[in-house]
Amino acid sequence: MNVPEGLFYTKEHEWVKIDGNQAKMGISDHAQHELGDITFVELPAQQTQCEQFKQIATIESVKAASDIYAPLSGKVTAVNNKVVENPELVNQSPYEQGWLLAIELTEESQIENLMDADAYKNYLKESL
Amino acid sequence: MKTKKTPLFEQHNKLGAKCAPFGGWLMPIQYEGIISEHQWTRNNCSVFDICHMGEFLIKADALPSKLDKILTQNLVNMPLKTCRYGFMLNDNAGIIDDVIIYRIEQDKWMLVVNAATSSADFEHLEKNLAKDNVKIEDISNTLAKLDLQGPLSRDVLVEIAGEGILKLDYYTFDYFKVLGENIIISRTGYTGELGFELYISNDKVIALWNLLLKNKTVKPAGLGARDTLRLEVCYPLYGQDINSTTTPLEAGLAGFVDMNKDFSGKKALGKKQEQGLVKKLCCFETDSRRAPRHDYEIFSNNRKVGVVTSGSYSPSLGCGIGMGYIETQFSDIGTEIILQHENVKINAKVVKRPFYKKGSLRI
């Protein structure tokens, strides 16, 4: 499974790329692989306030519906409407074209609650 | 109970399948992906490992026998080497199982039953047939089953089993020499496409699986695609859309019940027919890509009027589709309904069955 360096990860298999106070997020390669063909994505409206580890979006695959959790608290500043029209982008390119939304983060210290690439790789190994 | 594995389990691993438990068996859910397997079956030909299903051989001397009384289909007038889809009902007309009946000889039958209900079915048959000079044998442990489905399946099978395949009409079967064994091949299936079901001994099934996959038009498909394929043509899944508390009438399957003969559950079924149906199994489409799911509640005008039994994204239609029981007065075609689960609300509309109308089933 592809686990790019420089990103942070959650136990629920979201990734987040932090640039100043902007955080872009999506689901990991492992998550898209586990879900299988993604058929539907529901994203929040811009300006929605989100809380770390609380539900912020929904993804459905052929088999099931899954909640997606915010990796950090803040305000939604951008959503990727391309994945709403073409949910398969999340399968094809989970870290690039398949990103879900961007958050303006409010509490930088929350980053400590996330895993870096090495920690996430170990987490995946342990959960096998 | 320990999860069982079919003789093809290692083959599935080699093909990189994702496996999960189904009906007491560890079964391949998908290989490449559910949607691509679904599309491949609609356009080409797929092979499915269906070894989990149960098969009983029944020798019933005279007709009408007690076997005929256990099943809703008429066995007496069934021609040799044909199949019929029917039910075993309980005293309340609830469905114990849906089965395919094969008439092998004048007094010899094969019953193909669901994996999860197999042992209960066998008990039910034994209990009701024991005193009737009927021999019943569970051959599930030695007999394997492969489904070959898709518009190209006939061409593929002709190469393996000979031109006799061309003579098989819908819901008929015959014996064919394959890999040195005389095997039953029936023109039946669960996808809405032209297709066949092959019954071969466990010893030969790996060889047959690999022989079929040598043909470049054949790809393996898992139970995930099998589920979306059957849902698009509104075939019921036992345990979800039908069970021991639902009747064939409510499920819209009265065509597989012969009310001109006697069978267990007939009295209760007749009574329900007289009283009129309280609920009906309906088909509905959503207004988005969002899918109905099993157990979502169905609302009309803020009142709960039903429950979803099966649902999925439809690869052929590009929207969510589902089936579920809805109170009769809200079951008309075109009725707008709302599917709800926690904070999810989906707009949907009752539509005519089947969802997918272009299947190659009868070509």
Residues 6+ apart with CB under 8 A from B341: B293, B295, B296, B297
Residue showing tokens 């190469």: B159
Chain B neighbors of A56, CB-CB under 8 A? none
Among B321, B341, B339, B319, which residue's Cα sits nearest to residue B330? B339
Q: Tell me the count of A-B CB pairs closer than 8 A.
A: 42
Pairing outcome for strands B108-113 and B54-60: antiparallel
Q: What is the mean pLDDT of residues A61-76?
A: 96
Enter the ipTM: 0.88
pLDDT, residue B362, reads 86
- Provide the pLDDT for residue B3: 93
Q: Among residues A7, A9, A6, A43, which one has the least CA distance to residue A122? A: A9
Please indicate whether, in this complex, the C-beta atoms of B34 and A64 are within 8 angstroms of each other.
no
Q: Please give the pLDDT value at position B292.
A: 97
Helices and strands (H and E) in chain A: how many: 4, 9
| CB < 8 Å to B315, chain A | 62
3-state SS, residue A118? helix
Show which residues on chain A lie within 8 Å of chain B, measured between beta carbons. 36-37, 39-40, 42, 58, 60, 62-65, 87
Closest by CA to B281, choosing from B238, B314, B322, is B322
Number of Cα atoms under 13 Å in the Cβ half of residue B77: 6
Minimal C-alpha gap between B325 and chain A (Å): 21
The verdict on a CB contact (< 8 Å) between A39 and B30 is no
List the single range of A61-65, A99-103, B35-39, B354-358 with lowest mean pLDDT.
Answer: A61-65
- pLDDT, residue B65, reads 74
Task: Quickly count: other Cβ atoms within 10 Å of residue B363's Cβ.
Answer: 9
Kindly tell me the burial class for residue B238, based on how many C-beta atoms sit within 10 Å of its own C-beta (0-12, 13-18, 19 or more). buried
Task: Look at the block and give the residue holding tokens 């080409």.
Answer: B44
The DSSP bridge partners found for residue B28 are B19
pLDDT tens by residue, A7-25: 999 999 999 999 999 999 9
Closest residue in B to A33 (Cα) is B33
Using CB atoms within 10 Å of the CB of residue B45, give its burial: 0 to 12 exposed, 13 to 18 middle, 19+ buried.
buried
Pick the residue from chain B with its C-alpha nearest to A91: B33
How far apart are the C-alpha atoms of B265 and B279, rounded to whole Å?
A: 19
The answer to pTM > 0.90 is yes
Q: Are B113 and B145 in contact (CB under 8 A)?
A: no
User: Low-confidence residues of chain B, pLDDT below 50?
Assistant: none
Which candidate from B30, B36, B313 shows the least CB-CB separation from A60?
Answer: B313
* Residue of B36, B40, B289, B347 to mutate for A, most A C-beta atoms under 10 A: B289
> B128 or A6: whose pLDDT is higher?
A6
A37: closest CA of chain B, how far (Å) = 6
DSSP B33-90: -HHHHHHHHHHSEEEEE-TTSEEEEEEE-SSS-HHHHHBSS-STTPPTTBEEEEEEE-
pLDDT at B239: 97
Per CB-CB distance under 8 Å, the chain A contacts of B288 are 40
Distance CA B273, CA B325 (A): 17
Identify whether the C-beta of residue B253 lies closer than 8 Å to the C-beta of residue B82.
no
Q: How far is A6 from chain B (nearest CA, A)?
A: 30
CB B309 within 8 A of CB B323: yes
Chain B residues within 8 A of A54 when measuring between CB atoms: none
Run of H or E residues at B208? helix B202-214
CA atoms within 13 A on the CB side of B132: 20
DSSP per-residue codes, A37-86: SEEEEE-PPTT-EE-TTSEEEEEEESS-EEEEE-SS-EEEEEE-HHHHH-
Q: CA of A3, closest CA in chain B: separation in Å?
A: 21
CB contact B33 to A (< 8 Å): yes
Inter-chain CB proximity A65 and B35 less than 8 Å: no
State whether B288 and A63 contact (CB < 8 Å). no
CB atoms B313 and A65 under 8 Å:
no
Mutation choice for A interface testing from B231, B313, B341 by most A CBs within 10 A: B313
Q: Report the alpha-carbon distance of residue A93 to residue A88 in Å, rounded.
A: 9
